[in-house]
């Protein structure tokens, strides 16, 4: 869920334009989220913003502008962590209206829920919502399926398993050159950088084994 938080946090401060003008950034959220029917910044956009964030982070989306659409996405949890999705009711618990954002944490007395989201005071902001308006917390799944081979790979290996490794390394931010299926010096160097990024949890030997594979999968899917 770190990717969701990182992408959303970078948008803090984006807000609606007053008057007849519309913020093109907010319209861009809708366009890139597949809701190009939105051409203003006045259409309720909390779900639009979250769909955009999840698209960029490669997590499942609701594909809908309605906040309550997120109640059908992912899985329910009663133990939310920062980066999980939080859905609230508006007007009444049984109405169709609501609000959706990214859970950050509870207040000390647990009566307020700190939420990062769009269309909060007409902006991407962090706001606190009453806990009694909570409809539920959702845990989203990554849409990235790396399908990495379980075999150990090292310098000199060739084949489709190496291609998938090279693609995954680049998705994780480790440059290994062209995905040519050859585990050469550049791929070995990239694997060592991956292992170094573990902060000491992995041996830096350039061999892509089980532990390195699990670390790379977690890094790519969760950031």
**What does the DSSP assignment read for 10-65?**
TTTT-BPPSTT---HHHHHHHHHTT-TT--SS-S--HHHHHHHHHHHHTB----SS
Same domain for 124 and 174?
A: no
Whether residue 148 is contained in a domain is answered as no
Same domain for 51 and 130?
A: yes
89 contacts: CB under 8 Å, gap ≥ 6: 68, 95, 97, 98, 133, 135
Same domain for 196 and 93?
A: no
Q: Which residues pair with 159 in a beta bridge?
A: none
Same domain for 205 and 97?
A: no
Q: State residue 152's pLDDT score.
A: 97
Q: State residue 14's pLDDT score.
A: 98
CB atoms within 10 A of CB 190: 22
Q: Which helix (H) or strand (E) holds 161?
A: helix 160-171
pLDDT digits 0-9 by tens, 40-51:
999 999 999 999
Q: State residue 186's pLDDT score.
A: 97
pLDDT tier for residue 70 given thresholds of 50, 70 and 90: very high
Q: Which residues pair with 112 in a beta bridge?
A: 130
Same domain for 112 and 194?
A: no
pLDDT tier for residue 214 given thresholds of 50, 70 and 90: very high
Same domain for 30 and 94?
A: yes
pLDDT digits 0-9 by tens, 140-188:
988 888 889 999 999 999 999 999 999 999 988 899 999 999 999 999 9
Q: State residue 147's pLDDT score.
A: 86
pTM, two decimal places: 0.80
106 by Cβ neighbours in 10 Å (0-12 / 13-18 / 19+) ranks as middle
* Residue 179 lies in domain: 160-222
pLDDT digits 0-9 by tens, 82-137:
999 999 999 999 999 999 999 999 999 999 999 999 999 999 999 999 999 999 99
Whether residue 154 is contained in a domain is answered as no
Which tokens in the block code for residue 6?
């990182």
What is the sign, positive or negative, of the torsion defined by CA atoms of 3, 50, 39, 133?
Answer: negative
- Residue owning tokens 């050159």: 177
Same domain for 95 and 186?
A: no
Q: State residue 167's pLDDT score.
A: 92
Number of domains making up the chain: 2
């Amino acid at each position: 869920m770190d990717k969701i938080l990182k992408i959303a946090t970078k948008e803090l401060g984006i807000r609606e334009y007053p008057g007849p003008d519309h913020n093109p950034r907010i319209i861009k959220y809708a366009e890139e989220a597949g809701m190009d029917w939105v051409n203003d910044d006045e259409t309720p956009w909390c779900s639009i913003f979250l769909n955009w964030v999840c698209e960029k982070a490669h997590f499942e989306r609701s594909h809908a502008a309605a906040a309550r659409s997120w109640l059908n996405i992912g899985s329910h949890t009663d133990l939310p962590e920062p980066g999980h999705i939080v859905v609230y009711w508006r007007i009444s618990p049984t109405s169709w209206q609501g609000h959706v954002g990214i859970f950050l944490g509870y207040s000390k007395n647990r009566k307020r829920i700190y939420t990062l989201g769009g269309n909060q005071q007409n902006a991407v902001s962090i706001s606190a919502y009453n806990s009694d308006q909570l409809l539920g917390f959702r845990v989203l799944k990554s849409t990235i399926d790396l399908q990495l081979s379980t075999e150990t790979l090292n310098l000199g290996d060739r084949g489709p398993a190496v291609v998938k490794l090279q693609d995954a390394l680049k998705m994780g931010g480790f440059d290994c050159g062209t995905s040519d299926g050859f585990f050469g010096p550049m791929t070995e160097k990239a694997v060592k950088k991956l292992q170094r990024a573990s902060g000491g949890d992995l041996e830096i030997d350039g061999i892509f084994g089980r532990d390195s594979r699990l670390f790379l999968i977690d890094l790519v899917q969760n950031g």
